[in-house]
A and B are shown apart, each in its own frame.
Chain A
């Protein structure tokens, strides 16, 4: 077994020093009834690299890679081009195979990139402080609601109809079992909902996504003011982080907490995970934040260095009184994000966002010209909702057979809403070619004719 360095002679020698005759004796505290005499029957034995590679490659070959065909899938996961440097650097063993930086003297590498990551997230969201990441956007959203409940000492969250339904479901799972109320607004494909009417003295927060899951982009300043007038917080969700290179960030619209899915920078689609939960807020709420925080300090020689800090919020100290039970973060995904954003820089990030937006404008114009298709969005970033003359799922299915991943039918997200079945979410990124758009337009024209 190539990963196990002990030889039989080593094992013999070690058993002798321990003073037992066999390794079985070391398991003597296991009740006899539960001891297995040998390897579990019916399972294969060990295999070489070649065999394992063949097996898993065969599974991979049964999938259609999004990059191998024209793909317009978004809805919370976006296929951007990740520079080769990113994946090379995150595979350095010193990053990949290190643990949580509990010994800061020998993990300054991890700590410094987390400090830089926190700064980058604060800058792009327009907020004052960010944590060192959470599992993904959806869980970050649920953590934001629970933090708002703590800050306001209230327990009713209002969720916009533009928030990704998966995010709403994760919040709802927590609400149901942790014990707080959620007011879930009706799905809002047109971006016309009025949330202000739902805010009252019991509201801890309003959660709104920008652009919404339907691609609708809005100014949230008035909503922020309405929240604050009632003592509630405004939580803004961003699922397409590249949008922050172009649009006014939530922090400048009055958000109190910004959560996001950071996958779009540095990280691939990977069938939905691991992804990267972004979490940013105002300085005054920092002690109510979930998740790890890295802070600057000095060492015994007075030199700048970094440590994990404000740990008294966390489970390993506070146990049942912690702000969250979270232990693990998405460290390596945060590193990939941070490297990608470092490579882009101010001009690269803003140019990337403009490229995405320009592609989307072109797509919207081309689709709007197809008879039978209506584009619902006036304002958007890189994703739009279109109305088709027939249920979108069947059309997507036919186009998939022709090698086009046409987008996400809203019925995939809201199967119990027949009134939304004819809606299709269509996203583009800088990876979308003009040929891809032409293929989609031609395919849709043909199928709906």
Chain B
């Protein structure tokens, strides 16, 4: 995100449509779909239930409620509604989705099938432990893989997503410092970090000190070393970093951080680039979350659910949150309280309602078993190869921010658009008309008008070649000065540019019934 004057309201474009106006407003396969509330057929239901008994209620002092205002819809209406909505979405299943740092890779359907086995999908989190030994074994098996792939001795499985994992990891650092009788207030975070890093550190009560990047897109080691001291609790570093580059000096940094008595938190959002090739433990990392919905391909689902297990070094391992799985003579058990047998007694406490994102664990384990150790290494190889192929194939027309090789994502900035009157966002919107989801834009903040492409390993060479051809064509068009073409884009989408300014000035966050005259 840039902080300067990006347009957030569309300009008037009287002739933006392509083709002719239809009577219905529909455009062939693209059908206008009202809200469910606008399709209310009172009394209708898409579910047949037995007539509820009319026996007296036992609600005590609480009155039964009056009308709620939910619409009545039949099953066919509901199916059509959501099918039509789905057709207004871009998805990995429909095309290349090169959102940098989001790792939008293919989501295998085997994983969906297995997550729906009744023995996994239909078990209650508080069933007697002896009736869920297979579930605990599955969590334990996935934990084993995560530990082996990272070289770390422990893993906290319960965090619900990446940011939740960051919060968990930073809390283990607070707990470890407290156990040492220290209260170090500061956390160092590079300027290029994901916004969740400073937000998570601040949520844990730390003061965030930004560390600048150097001219090579990596953390300024001298500035970092100069900031280390007895007031620093930890550094939060993303590696590979958000410029898509491996932090070459990471071992030096880790040594210096440890020397200063601080801990090294690594944002593992970009683990996909190095899985099977580098173990974070060998880099000196103390804690790292793993976004199962990135590296291990659990579906993003329109923004969640995710899962963010955190691997921990021996120094932080005792502080993992409750609950966790332990082995005992008879099998596997859940440690749910600090007083339980097998507890370390210094656990963080609970961070989530139950035991973690089991549905995501099943999918991630299926993905891992499908690849095996050899396949996961190939994942990293191909992810990095695909990104470098983009960098090499576009470097002569777009402006790569830093010399390669890059890791799993390729960063460009907007110098190639200089003096064209066309901005990064205009360029992105033109990509949409060409059938592509845009790359990540205006992030990281360390370059101007960033365009961050992460193709992932599940794109074929043909798919990348098509993207390259389109991007080269768009660059030519931009450099030819066709400002109007870009300013009007997208034209072919279910909706054209939306007025974010109006949405934020007068928020309309729910449907309300129209007022009768």
Stretch of B67-75, B222-230, B473-481 lying at the A interface: B67-75
> Is B5 in contact with chain A by the CB < 8 A criterion?
no
Question: Complex Cα distance A47/B176, Å?
Answer: 40
The reply to whether B199 and A309 contact each other, CB–CB distance below 8 Å, is no
What is the chain A residue whose CB lies nearest that of B391? Answer: A18
Question: Complex Cα distance A52/B495, Å?
Answer: 42
The reply to whether A44 and B373 contact each other, CB–CB distance below 8 Å, is yes
The reply to whether A94 and B164 contact each other, CB–CB distance below 8 Å, is no
What residues on A are CB-neighbors of B504 within 8 Å? 295, 309-310, 312
A187 to chain B minimum Cβ distance, whole angstroms, is: 14
The reply to whether B205 and A177 contact each other, CB–CB distance below 8 Å, is yes
The reply to whether A274 and B85 contact each other, CB–CB distance below 8 Å, is no
What residues on A are CB-neighbors of B174 within 8 Å? 177
The reply to whether A249 and B135 contact each other, CB–CB distance below 8 Å, is no
What residues on A are CB-neighbors of B378 within 8 Å? 1, 4
The reply to whether B510 and A274 contact each other, CB–CB distance below 8 Å, is no
The reply to whether A43 and B349 contact each other, CB–CB distance below 8 Å, is no
Whether A29 contacts B405 in the complex (CB less than 8 A), given A61-B119, A97-B91, A272-B354, comes out as yes
The reply to whether A95 and B89 contact each other, CB–CB distance below 8 Å, is yes
The reply to whether B305 and A52 contact each other, CB–CB distance below 8 Å, is no
Question: Complex Cα distance A270/B70, Å?
Answer: 28
> Is B272 in contact with chain A by the CB < 8 A criterion?
no
A61 to chain B minimum Cβ distance, whole angstroms, is: 6
> Is B329 in contact with chain A by the CB < 8 A criterion?
no
The reply to whether B204 and A67 contact each other, CB–CB distance below 8 Å, is no
> Is A371 in contact with chain B by the CB < 8 A criterion?
no
Q: How many residues from B make CB contacts under 8 Å with A?
A: 212
The reply to whether A3 and B108 contact each other, CB–CB distance below 8 Å, is yes
The reply to whether A6 and B460 contact each other, CB–CB distance below 8 Å, is yes
> Is A209 in contact with chain B by the CB < 8 A criterion?
no
Whether A3 contacts B458 in the complex (CB less than 8 A), given A39-B377, A178-B205, comes out as yes
The reply to whether B510 and A103 contact each other, CB–CB distance below 8 Å, is no
The reply to whether A328 and B161 contact each other, CB–CB distance below 8 Å, is yes
The reply to whether B70 and A319 contact each other, CB–CB distance below 8 Å, is no
Stretch of B276-284, B310-318, B413-421 lying at the A interface: B276-284
The reply to whether B46 and A85 contact each other, CB–CB distance below 8 Å, is yes
What residues on B are CB-neighbors of A286 within 8 Å? 507, 509
> Is A419 in contact with chain B by the CB < 8 A criterion?
no
What residues on B are CB-neighbors of A349 within 8 Å? 68, 70
The reply to whether A347 and B72 contact each other, CB–CB distance below 8 Å, is yes
> Is B330 in contact with chain A by the CB < 8 A criterion?
no
A262 to chain B minimum Cβ distance, whole angstroms, is: 12
The reply to whether A320 and B300 contact each other, CB–CB distance below 8 Å, is no
B158 to chain A minimum Cβ distance, whole angstroms, is: 8
The reply to whether A271 and B355 contact each other, CB–CB distance below 8 Å, is yes
What residues on A are CB-neighbors of B175 within 8 Å? 177
What residues on A are CB-neighbors of B87 within 8 Å? 94, 109
What residues on B are CB-neighbors of A329 within 8 Å? 303-305
Question: Complex Cα distance A1/B464, Å?
Answer: 19
The reply to whether A303 and B384 contact each other, CB–CB distance below 8 Å, is no
Stretch of A154-162, A198-206, A334-342 lying at the B interface: A334-342
What residues on A are CB-neighbors of B389 within 8 Å? 14, 17-18
What residues on A are CB-neighbors of B134 within 8 Å? 58-63
B358 to chain A minimum Cβ distance, whole angstroms, is: 4
> Is A151 in contact with chain B by the CB < 8 A criterion?
no
> Is B353 in contact with chain A by the CB < 8 A criterion?
yes
Question: Complex Cα distance A110/B301, Å?
Answer: 9
> Is B345 in contact with chain A by the CB < 8 A criterion?
no
What is the chain B residue whose CB lies nearest that of A49? Answer: B110
The reply to whether B208 and A56 contact each other, CB–CB distance below 8 Å, is no
B198 to chain A minimum Cβ distance, whole angstroms, is: 4
> Is B92 in contact with chain A by the CB < 8 A criterion?
yes
The reply to whether B71 and A73 contact each other, CB–CB distance below 8 Å, is no
Question: Complex Cα distance A125/B166, Å?
Answer: 31
The reply to whether A123 and B302 contact each other, CB–CB distance below 8 Å, is no
Most buried by A among B131, B133, B428, B457: B131
The reply to whether B300 and A346 contact each other, CB–CB distance below 8 Å, is no
Question: Complex Cα distance A377/B59, Å?
Answer: 10
What is the chain B residue whose CB lies nearest that of A122? Answer: B510
What is the chain A residue whose CB lies nearest that of B490? Answer: A105
Whether A299 contacts B65 in the complex (CB less than 8 A), given A67-B122, A320-B208, A346-B72, comes out as no
The reply to whether B392 and A328 contact each other, CB–CB distance below 8 Å, is no
The reply to whether A44 and B372 contact each other, CB–CB distance below 8 Å, is yes
13 A–B pairs (Cβ distance < 8 Å), ordered by A:
A10-B460, A52-B370, A101-B302, A178-B204, A315-B199, A320-B199, A325-B199, A326-B164, A329-B305, A343-B75, A343-B78, A345-B72, A345-B73
Question: Complex Cα distance A299/B35, Å?
Answer: 17
The reply to whether A40 and B373 contact each other, CB–CB distance below 8 Å, is yes
What residues on A are CB-neighbors of B107 within 8 Å? 96-97
What residues on A are CB-neighbors of B208 within 8 Å? 319-320
The reply to whether A342 and B81 contact each other, CB–CB distance below 8 Å, is yes
Can you list the 3 inter-chain pairs with the closest CB atoms, starting with the nearest? A272-B354, A379-B60, A60-B119
For chain B, residues 372 to 387, give those with C-beta under 8 angstroms from any C-beta of chain A.
Answer: 372-379, 381-382, 384-386
> Is A435 in contact with chain B by the CB < 8 A criterion?
no
> Is B221 in contact with chain A by the CB < 8 A criterion?
no
Question: Complex Cα distance A1/B72, Å?
Answer: 47
A337 to chain B minimum Cβ distance, whole angstroms, is: 12
Whether A345 contacts B55 in the complex (CB less than 8 A), given A29-B248, A89-B82, A105-B496, comes out as no
A303 to chain B minimum Cβ distance, whole angstroms, is: 6
Q: Which of B248, B305, B354 meets A330, CB within 8 Å?
A: B305
The contact string, 1 if C-beta is below 8 Å from chain B, for chain A 92-120, is 11111111111111111110111110111
Question: Complex Cα distance A295/B502, Å?
Answer: 10
Whether A273 contacts B251 in the complex (CB less than 8 A), given A96-B301, A110-B302, A300-B10, comes out as no
For chain B, residues 498 to 515, give those with C-beta under 8 angstroms from any C-beta of chain A.
Answer: 498-500, 502-504, 507-511
Whether A39 contacts B126 in the complex (CB less than 8 A), given A103-B432, A177-B171, A295-B507, comes out as no
What residues on B are CB-neighbors of A177 within 8 Å? 171, 174-175, 204-205, 348
The reply to whether B384 and A26 contact each other, CB–CB distance below 8 Å, is yes
The reply to whether B278 and A35 contact each other, CB–CB distance below 8 Å, is yes
The contact string, 1 if C-beta is below 8 Å from chain A, for chain B 113-141, is 11111111111111110111111011001
> Is A380 in contact with chain B by the CB < 8 A criterion?
yes
A sample of 13 more A-B contacts (CB under 8 A), given A273-B160, A300-B11, A345-B72, is: A1-B371, A25-B405, A43-B373, A60-B134, A95-B86, A106-B437, A115-B35, A123-B68, A271-B132, A316-B1, A331-B304, A335-B301, A345-B44
Q: Which of B93, B200, B299 meets A325, CB within 8 Å?
A: B200
B52 to chain A minimum Cβ distance, whole angstroms, is: 4
What residues on A are CB-neighbors of B340 within 8 Å? 415
> Is A42 in contact with chain B by the CB < 8 A criterion?
yes
For chain B, residues 152 to 207, give those with C-beta under 8 angstroms from any C-beta of chain A.
Answer: 160-164, 166-167, 171, 174-175, 194-196, 198-205
Question: Complex Cα distance A350/B91, Å?
Answer: 35
> Is A422 in contact with chain B by the CB < 8 A criterion?
no
The reply to whether B205 and A298 contact each other, CB–CB distance below 8 Å, is no
The contact string, 1 if C-beta is below 8 Å from chain A, for chain B 88-118, is 1111111001010010101110101111111
B135 to chain A minimum Cβ distance, whole angstroms, is: 5
The reply to whether A346 and B120 contact each other, CB–CB distance below 8 Å, is no
The reply to whether B62 and A217 contact each other, CB–CB distance below 8 Å, is yes
Most buried by A among B70, B83, B133, B392: B70
For chain A, residues 274 to 331, give those with C-beta under 8 angstroms from any C-beta of chain B.
Answer: 274-275, 286, 292-301, 303, 305-307, 309-310, 312, 314-322, 324-331
For chain A, residues 126 to 176, give those with C-beta under 8 angstroms from any C-beta of chain B.
Answer: 126, 128-130, 132-133, 135-139, 164, 166-167, 169-170, 172-173, 176
A275 to chain B minimum Cβ distance, whole angstroms, is: 6
What residues on B are CB-neighbors of A197 within 8 Å? none
For chain B, residues 24 to 77, give those with C-beta under 8 angstroms from any C-beta of chain A.
Answer: 33, 35-37, 42-47, 49-53, 55-65, 67-73, 75
Question: Complex Cα distance A298/B498, Å?
Answer: 6
The reply to whether B46 and A218 contact each other, CB–CB distance below 8 Å, is no
Question: Complex Cα distance A273/B159, Å?
Answer: 11
The reply to whether B13 and A346 contact each other, CB–CB distance below 8 Å, is no
Whether A310 contacts B373 in the complex (CB less than 8 A), given A18-B405, A29-B246, comes out as no
The reply to whether B133 and A62 contact each other, CB–CB distance below 8 Å, is yes
